[in-house]
Structure 1
């Protein structure tokens, strides 16, 4: 994925962006990885609808790029997590 990335809040201009195989370039997880999801949730926490729109555009691009990814799988992977936001692990003091 290439393109011009503008602004500090541009999620694609940050670490944990996808490679051409739609795996995270930094941790090799399926993209969007947990780190990216947490960042997006932080950026869009007050506008979930916009987050769904942004992730929907990624989903559409991934469906075009990945022949073995069905529309349902892409929905779950790219948009489905928005309904169940990532949870930060809390450290317990013993």
Structure 2
């Protein structure tokens, strides 16, 4: 019996990877997103910005005393290299 692989997708509201339990987007998810959006870096940043807003809201509910800045986690790695 062959199991289907578990994708490196976010587990909401914890925003951890369903596959490896690292903070999402984990390295494999980042690589997959870069490949998927290879010709549309702006689209990738818009997509990640929306997810970052969702993650910020959900994580703030789980950890109300913590100030969250998820910019590095969600956007910094996806910016085009000069």
Which runs of 5 or more structure 1 residues have no equivalent in the other structure? 1-13, 86-94
The residue number in structure 2 matching 1:80 is: 76
Correspondence 1:43 to 2:7: no
Q: CA RMSD in A?
A: 1.8
Whose strand proportion is higher, 1 or 2?
A: 2
Gap change, CA 1:36 and 1:69, over 3 Å in 2: farther
CA–CA distance in structure 2, aligned partners of residues 33 and 40 of structure 1 = 11
The alpha carbon displacement at 1:69 in A equals 5.1
The residue number in structure 2 matching 1:60 is: 53
CA–CA distance in structure 2, aligned partners of residues 64 and 41 of structure 1 = 25
Contact 2:41 2:80 in 1 (8 A): no
Which runs of 5 or more structure 2 residues have no equivalent in the other structure? 1-5, 61-65
Question: Whose RCO is larger (CA < 8 A, sep 6+)?
Answer: 2
Moved over 4 A (4+): none
Query: How many equivalent pairs are there?
Result: 70
CA–CA distance in structure 2, aligned partners of residues 69 and 54 of structure 1 = 23
TM-score normalized by the length of structure 1: 0.68
